[in-house]
Amino acid sequence: MHVFAIPMRTRFRRIDVREGVLVRGDAGWGEFSPFWDYDDAESAAWWRAAREASELGFPEPVRERVPVNVTIPVVAAERAGELVRASGGCTTAKVKVAEPGDSLAKEVERLEAVREALGPSGRVRIDANGAWDVDTALARLPVLDRAAGGLEYVEQPCASVPELAEVRRRQSVLVAADESVRRAEDPLAVARAEAADVLVLKVQPLGGVRACLRIAEATGLPVVVSSALETSVGLAAGIALAAALPDLPFASGLATAQLLEGDVVAQPLLPEGGSIPVRRPEPEPELVEAARADEETAGRWRDRLARVQGIVGPS
């Protein structure tokens, strides 16, 4: 196992350095990188995903390329436009909103800059990470929808499934569920409650590519595949999921290697012409070494992985 620590280009999800573990098995490399707000029980799914990647490999793809969106963190409007223009041809942008300390006025400016950079035919989606209550969502969505020149959807406007259902009923912007799927004891509950128009599926938090395929089939809802800020080793699992889905109506949130200062592969999974080719890059020893975490960080991850392995049990 190899513990990595790679600085972020921009503070994202309130972290400045992305950490995790790379493991190698008979089928290739896997990544175990749950955020630290996931406890050991929740992190078990992340280990199952890493074990699937390294021991079983991925299902056969049905497409050769995966369209992706550019992710816009909480940055100034000018920087947001720059990120769109430097995105490798992405025609869809996901813009973070509802960050503590950010204002509605700044969100409006950010969305207007993104729309200008994308042009009229581009698609804009926003992600509130469950930060709003229902009243705030209903008040802000029309404003942000106008600023964006039309929103494709809003991702996780509120934290709970009942709140998502109410927001979906009371306004016209499509609602996508992320945390209500990946952090739920029952990931199908959001579909049964008719609380979302779209499901956001992330391979690591949901236990692997095959687990995500089962959720998509069981719900019958359109799916957006998204990353958990992995290196290209972990992103390869997201690409494999997007490549294996029968239908892929939305751009995937898998261009997040752009948010890292470095990577562990020589040719990271980055967009070319707005999409990423379906491939599985191999880590380079010198890049793995360059990303090696300090001993204190590595020790914390070794201890964490041992605890999680104890929960999951042997393969």
Please give the positions annotated as active site.
Answer: 96, 202
Residue 110 tokens, joined: 């950010």
Residue 54 DSSP symbol: I
What sections of the chain are H helices per DSSP? 40-51, 77-85, 104-118, 134-147, 161-170, 179-182, 189-192, 203-206, 209-219, 232-244, 285-290, 295-312
What's the Cα-to-Cα distance from 34 to each of 2, 59, 72, 83, 173, rounded to whole Å?
Answer: 15, 23, 21, 26, 31
Q: How far apart are CA 20 and CA 190, in angstroms?
A: 29
Q: Residue 163's closest CA among 199, 200, 190?
A: 190
For the chain, the distance separating the N- and C-terminal CA atoms, rounded to the nearest angstrom, is: 17
Largest CA distance in the chain: 53
What's the Cα-to-Cα distance from 181 to each of 144, 196, 205, rounded to whole Å?
Answer: 24, 10, 9
3-state class (DSSP) for residue 148? coil
Q: How far apart are CA 315 and CA 301, in angstroms?
A: 20
